[in-house]
């Protein structure tokens, strides 16, 4: 990454100019293709990623061969939390669900920079706390809210991490992401479509009424969104070293 470029990843953008300059030589621009795996369950994590567009699902594998999404990461976060927290692997798969761009860094270099770049560890640890809130809220939401509310929440999260009003998705994928049967997703998507909130065609969801979709969602979306906004707005105000 050129030392004076402006990253679209919001964590990197919140760093001061001197801190970003120290990281820049070790950040390699890469393209993330649909369904690419960034790390596998139980395998050593050798690289960390700072998404700049698109988003990545953090997926738990169930014993019967099914999948369930436990977290979603876009330009507001990074992939590689176990490295930050002193581990080198986890039992979750990081799978690209919407293609985009990212900045990649070697995990060993990342460990060194956590100690050598003031402020980097602090902002990433705060992100880890907010991300933990997203995971916990997802679990609570899946246990207590209707499929249509959960689908609206997921679509809003995907929309936040997309560059436009549409993004690739299938009913089969959504059934895995929401841990429900495909038939349930079809019914819920039909309800949102009939209400004029979304349009579905060619393997893509189009958000046609964002405000209405927020009303159709449960409170979980707003709680998590505010947590991320507070983290990133606060770090922008506290940038060390100028920008």
Greater model confidence, 105 or 236: 105
Packed helices 219-237 and 147-160: angle between N→C axes, nearest 10 degrees: 20
Average pLDDT value over all residues in the chain: 90
Provide the residue count of the chain. 243
Cβ neighbors of 127 (< 8 A, separation 6 or more) are 11, 76, 77, 78, 231
Please state the rounded mean pLDDT for residues 209-233.
Answer: 91
Greater model confidence, 97 or 232: 97
Q: CA-based diameter of the chain, in Å?
A: 54
What is the spatial distance between Cα 91 and Cα 243, in angstroms, rounded to a whole number?
A: 37
Question: How many domains does the structure of the chain reveal?
Answer: 2
One domain, residues 131 and 158:
no
Please tell me the predicted confidence (pLDDT) of residue 203: 84
What is the spatial distance between Cα 155 and Cα 167, in angstroms, rounded to a whole number?
A: 9
One domain, residues 111 and 136:
yes
One domain, residues 136 and 153:
no
* CB atoms closer than 10 angstroms to residue 86: 7
Contact 210, 159 (CB under 8 A): yes
Question: For 96-152, how does the pLDDT look when each residue is reduced to its tens digit (9 = 90+)?
Answer: 999 999 999 999 999 999 999 989 999 999 999 999 999 999 888 888 899 999 999
Question: For 34-70, how does the pLDDT look when each residue is reduced to its tens digit (9 = 90+)?
Answer: 999 999 999 999 999 999 999 999 999 887 778 888 9
Please tell me the predicted confidence (pLDDT) of residue 242: 38
CATH number of the domain encompassing residue 47: 2.60.120.10
What is the dihedral angle through the alpha carbons of 118, 111, 27, 167, rounded to the nearest 10 degrees?
A: -100
Determine what percent of the chain falls in helix, strand and coil, rounding each to the nearest 5. Answer: 45, 20, 30
Please tell me the predicted confidence (pLDDT) of residue 29: 97
Which of 27-36, 59-68, 149-158, 209-218 bottoms out in mean pLDDT, i.e. has the lowest? Answer: 59-68
Domain contains 65: yes
Question: For 156-168, how does the pLDDT look when each residue is reduced to its tens digit (9 = 90+)?
Answer: 999 999 989 998 8
Question: For 170-203, how does the pLDDT look when each residue is reduced to its tens digit (9 = 90+)?
Answer: 888 888 778 888 899 899 999 999 999 999 888 8
Please tell me the predicted confidence (pLDDT) of residue 107: 97
What is the spatial distance between Cα 205 and Cα 168, in angstroms, rounded to a whole number?
A: 6
Of 83, 111, 141, the residue that ends a domain is: 141
Please state the rounded mean pLDDT for residues 214-222.
Answer: 94
Tell whether the model's pLDDT for residue 232 goes beyond 90: no
Please tell me the predicted confidence (pLDDT) of residue 47: 98
Please tell me the predicted confidence (pLDDT) of residue 239: 40
CATH number of the domain encompassing residue 188: 1.10.10.10
One domain, residues 65 and 168:
no
Domain that holds residue 197: 146-217
Find residue 49's DSSP bridge partners. 79, 104
Tell whether the model's pLDDT for residue 243 goes beyond 60: no
One domain, residues 74 and 15:
yes
- 31 backbone dihedrals φ, ψ, rounded to 5°: -100, 135
Please tell me the predicted confidence (pLDDT) of residue 234: 59
Contact 69, 7 (CB under 8 A): no
Q: What DSSP state is assigned to residue 203?
A: T
One domain, residues 17 and 135:
yes
What is the spatial distance between Cα 15 and Cα 38, in angstroms, rounded to a whole number?
A: 24
């Amino acid at each position: 990454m050129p030392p004076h470029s402006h990253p679209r990843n919001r964590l990197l953008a919140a760093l001061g100019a001197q801190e970003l300059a120290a990281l820049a030589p070790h950040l390699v621009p890469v393209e993330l293709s649909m369904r690419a795996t960034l790390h596998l369950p139980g395998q050593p994590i050798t690289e960390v990623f700072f998404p700049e567009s698109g988003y990545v699902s953090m997926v738990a594998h169930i014993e019967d061969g099914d999948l369930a999404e436990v977290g979603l990461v876009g330009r507001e976060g990074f992939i590689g939390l176990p490295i930050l927290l002193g581990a080198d692997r986890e039992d979750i798969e990081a799978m690209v669900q919407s293609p985009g761009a990212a900045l990649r860094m070697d995990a060993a270099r990342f460990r060194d920079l956590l100690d050598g770049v003031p402020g980097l560890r602090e902002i990433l640890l705060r992100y880890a706390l907010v991300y933990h809130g997203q995971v916990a809220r997802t679990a609570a939401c899946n246990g207590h809210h209707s499929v249509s509310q959960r689908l609206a929440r997921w679509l809003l999260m995907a929309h936040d991490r997309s560059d436009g009003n549409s993004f690739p998705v299938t009913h089969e994928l959504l059934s895995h992401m929401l841990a429900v049967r495909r038939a349930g997703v079809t019914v819920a998507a039909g309800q949102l479509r009939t209400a004029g909130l979304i349009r579905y065609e060619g393997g893509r969801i189009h958000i046609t009424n964002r405000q209405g979709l927020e009303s159709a969602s449960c409170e979980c979306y707003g709680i998590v969104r505010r947590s991320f906004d507070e983290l990133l707005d606060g770090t922008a105000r506290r940038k060390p070293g100028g920008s």
